[in-house]
Amino acid sequence: MIELIDIHKSFEDKEVLKGISAQFEHGKTNLIIGQSGSGKTVLMRNIVGLTDPTQGKILYDGRDFTQLGKSEKMNLRKEMGMIFQSAALFDSINVLENVMFPLDMFSSMTYRERKRRAEFCLDRVNLLEAEEKFPGEISGGMQKRVAIARAISMNPKYLFCDEPNSGLDPKTSLVIDALIHDITTEYNMTTIINTHDMNSVLGIGDSILFIREGLKEWEGTKFDVVKSQNEYLNHFVFASEMLRQVKDHIQVK
């Protein structure tokens, strides 16, 4: 479980996060949603340690990430996997080598074992046939799937996804969502997803944190979203006419 306690983050005199507290449970897909500029990317960067919060605690199963030493942080990071908005694959090496990279760096497996593990992960995301290709030779959706394979290659306890559906068509987005959800339950990981995608919110939102102007505005599950009376949440989630009609239909029923 990951727990945030009163997270503040300021850039010079601008306070972006104004005291966010939340809990993200393991085995669930925990979504962070909010409008552009609401602070969700800054929150994610603080959680994974790419930036330090100005104030507050980030507990990984009780371990306060902000208080850990350099080597302890390095060790904790080996338990993390992350899927970036741009996939962030290393473009000078092929797909298989990308997935093998964390294993090459940190495992004591033999080359054959590392290759077998990487191929297993690629097979899990249905991309075994692309192992010899370079990131520039495959589509955006395939790149995201390779990023998922790379993220799970070390069996992480914590998985972070920064807008995993960004730039993908709706059908591919559903595939990526389903894959992340399945992997989360299969490996019992604590997964945190930063997203704008309403299909993800209503599809895989086991737990949803809605932030607005650096503050926690609302939290609940995908089932609570439909029933919520929070004005800002409704404006954000049901911004499109079609979704509004779907909501009205469900409520009438």
Partner 1 sequence: MLILNWLRDTGRYMELMGRTFSIPQRMHMFFRQYKTEMYQLGVNSIGIVLLISFFIGAVICIQFKLNIQSPWMPRFVTGYATREIMLLEFSSSIMCLILAGKVGSNIASELGTMRVTQQIDALEIMGVNSANYLILPKITALLTTIPMLATFSIAAGIFGAYCCAWFAGILQAEDLTYGLQYSFREWFVWCGIIKSFFFAFIISSVSSYFGYSVEGGSVEVGKASTNAVVSSSILILFSDLFLTSLLT
- Using CB under 8 A, list all residues that contact partner 1: 48-50, 73-78, 80-82, 84-86, 88-92, 101-102, 104-106, 160
If the CB atoms of residues 87 and 201 are measured against partner 1, the closer one turns out to be 87
If the CB atoms of residues 78 and 133 are measured against partner 1, the closer one turns out to be 78
Shortest distance, position 200 Cβ to partner 1, whole Å: 20
Shortest distance, position 170 Cβ to partner 1, whole Å: 24
The contacts of residue 221 (CB under 8 Å, 6+ apart) are 205, 206, 207, 208
Calculate ∠ Cα 51-53-54, nearest 5°. Answer: 125
Neighbours of 22 (CB within 10 A): 19
Hey, is 195 helix, strand or coil?
strand
Shortest distance, position 209 Cβ to partner 1, whole Å: 21
Are 131 and 96 in contact by the 8 Å Cβ rule? The answer is: yes
CA torsion 227-207-151-130 (nearest 10°) is -20
Shortest distance, position 106 Cβ to partner 1, whole Å: 7
Shortest distance, position 219 Cβ to partner 1, whole Å: 25
Q: How far apart are CA 213 and CA 16, in angstroms?
A: 7
If the CB atoms of residues 76 and 226 are measured against partner 1, the closer one turns out to be 76
Neighbours of 11 (CB within 10 A): 10
If the CB atoms of residues 145 and 222 are measured against partner 1, the closer one turns out to be 145
Calculate ∠ Cα 214-218-220, nearest 5°. Answer: 135
Shortest distance, position 231 Cβ to partner 1, whole Å: 35
If the CB atoms of residues 158 and 238 are measured against partner 1, the closer one turns out to be 158
If the CB atoms of residues 33 and 83 are measured against partner 1, the closer one turns out to be 83
